[in-house]
Amino acid sequence: MAINTHQLVTTRLKARIQSGSANEAVHPNGVKQVMPGQGGVVTGIGLGDIASNWQGDHVEPGVTLGHPDTDANHAIRLLSCVGNPVEVLDGPAAGSRGIVYGKHGGVLAMFAPDVLKRLSPGDWVSIDAKGIGLADDEFPDLVCHSCSPALFAAMVKASGDHRLHIHVAAILPSIAAAAGIGMPAAMFNMDMNTSITPIAEMTRDLRFGDTVAVMDQDHRIGRQHRKGWTMVGIVSHGTTISGGHGLGLMTLLTAPSDRLKLDINDKAQLTRLLPLPWEGS
């Protein structure tokens, strides 16, 4: 692998834990239901837990990060990458360390269960953002988004046949791509259409932090359907009863399908790819 880690810029960002929301979700049959939504501090759900098991609307485990200043918030959403370290700056959990694991409306981060119990909306954290511009000189048609160099090195291996070998938890057809098509791939996630057959069955056992491939998706800039391309993303938020929405998949990379060798196995999980900051402490 010839990734350009030495050229990447590390930017320390300051972000605030966002308040939670109660979402009004409308089922395709027209029934409206109020459910726990995005934001806040979500305890009791962690990386590696089944993502579709919860009575919520786009539930975001751990904490959701943003900033009241528009420009600062834009930088947080664009520059933060999965695998970047996060440190609590104030409050009872000051000094505790976590990890960025995805994006939705905000940046999503996970901490140890005992740390989450001490965090509150309004607490400030720092993010050492690194990964924008990540590339591999040997694979110029590969484009990365929101992927830290540490995660890329752990997730992607050269297979010896001029392809990149990537472990994934599932390989989904293009009909899985739902809300998020057309949006900038570096800032927002893409929902998977998990309410339809066969996608519901194919995604039933996916976990927060799983890496997943979707075929015929070109996410180099704005997300779009394109035959012969593949995207690989990470499961970042929970499902919903709303039609055209579902589990959230944050884009990590996209490339021509014939440049990738996808292998379905249980190694395709953030908790197995990277050491968590609180492990062994």
CATH class of this structure's domain 5-129? mainly beta
Contacts of 278 (CB under 8 A, 6+ apart): 96, 97, 98, 111, 112, 115
Determine the Cα–Cα distance for residues 253 and 134; give it in Å rounded to an integer.
10
Determine the Cα–Cα distance for residues 85 and 206; give it in Å rounded to an integer.
24
Provide mean pLDDT across the span 145-155: 97
Contacts of 197 (CB under 8 A, 6+ apart): none
| Beta carbons of 249 and 236 less than 8 angstroms apart | yes
Provide mean pLDDT across the span 33-55: 94
Provide mean pLDDT across the span 47-70: 95
Provide mean pLDDT across the span 149-165: 92
Mean pLDDT over the full length of the chain: 95
Kindly indicate the confidence band of residue 216, based on its pLDDT and cuts at 50, 70 and 90: very high
Kindly indicate the confidence band of residue 29, based on its pLDDT and cuts at 50, 70 and 90: confident
Q: Give the residue carrying structure tokens 């001029």.
A: 162
Mean pLDDT is lowest, of 89-98, 162-171, 187-196, for 187-196
Domain boundaries, the chain: 5-129, 143-273
> Tell me: the pLDDT tens digits for 221-258?
889 999 999 999 999 999 988 888 899 999 999 999 99
CA distances from 47 to 30, 42, 50, 210, 211 (A): 32, 12, 9, 8, 12
What is the model's pLDDT at position 43? 97
What is the model's pLDDT at position 34? 93
pTM of the predicted model as reported, rounded to 2 decimal places: 0.96
In this structure, the strands spanning 211-218 and 170-172 are parallel
Q: Give the residue carrying structure tokens 């976590």.
A: 98
| Beta carbons of 40 and 18 less than 8 angstroms apart | yes
Kindly indicate the confidence band of residue 281, based on its pLDDT and cuts at 50, 70 and 90: low
At 253 the three-state DSSP class reads strand
Provide mean pLDDT across the span 5-23: 96
Nearest to 271 by CA among 23, 77, 46, 105: 46
Determine the Cα–Cα distance for residues 63 and 107; give it in Å rounded to an integer.
8
Provide mean pLDDT across the span 206-224: 96
| Beta carbons of 175 and 199 less than 8 angstroms apart | yes
Provide mean pLDDT across the span 138-155: 96
At 126 the three-state DSSP class reads strand
What is the model's pLDDT at position 85? 98
Determine the Cα–Cα distance for residues 39 and 49; give it in Å rounded to an integer.
18
Provide mean pLDDT across the span 17-39: 90
Determine the Cα–Cα distance for residues 260 and 25; give it in Å rounded to an integer.
37
CATH 2.102.30.10 is the classification of domain 143-273: yes
